[in-house]
Amino acid sequence: MSSRALHFVPIAFALSLFVATAHAGVPDPTRSSSENVIVGDSNGLQVLDGYRVTVRDIANVPLANSHVTLTFAGTVRPYTVQVAPAVVTCPTIMKMTDAAGNVVFQPRFGGFANANAVQVRADGVLLNTVLARSTDLNADGKTDVTDLVLFRQNYLFAPASQETDYDETGLTDLGDLAIFRSVYFFDVPGVTCP
């Protein structure tokens, strides 16, 4: 290697450290994680273990106090009131990560999307775009008899339907009925975002 090339090696190394340092503290989608399906309901019960997101930077360091947002689109609409400390600015729900870079949502929303429709972002960086399903199937602000009829149709005649597979087993079955029933009998109606 020539002496001139040897001078560039330390410069290249310093630049790589500068670039890595510049990206420290910025959410990295390849190091962060989020579930591929967001399951919610009309009353804010935590369905199973909630919707979990972990935010990490390029060095795989957890990011505390990162603003994680769920931005809903299409026929899926969040409610105007969420379970605190989550806040809503229609059509987005926001919550902050804890010291370990984790956040758990108990999202209140209506409707469903069997294609990726909800953007998951951390500090503005897109982490994932995910599917969505709610017990408020028709997005009218409550889990009521209309939703029960829709759920019943899938349960009895179309068990492979994604929109009513709340426990993510691949089928609409007894586990999903238990989730739907717990919301249906203790429903807390709300108002969906326009």
CA distance 26 to 48: 30
Tens of pLDDT, residue by residue over 23-56, are: 579 999 999 999 999 999 999 989 999 999 999 9
Task: Look at residue 66 and give its three-state secondary structure.
Answer: coil
| Whether residue 142 has pLDDT greater than 60 | yes
Here the tokens at position 129 are 């775009």
Mean pLDDT taken over the chain = 91
Taking residues 93-119, report their average pLDDT: 98
- What value, to the nearest 5°, has the Cα angle with vertex 149 and ends 144 and 154? 125
pLDDT for residue 18? 46
Taking residues 59-87, report their average pLDDT: 97
| Whether residue 193 has pLDDT greater than 90 | yes
In terms of Cα–Cα distance, which of 179, 163, 166 is closest to 45? Answer: 179
Helix (H) or strand (E) holding 23: helix 3-23
CA distance 137 to 143: 8
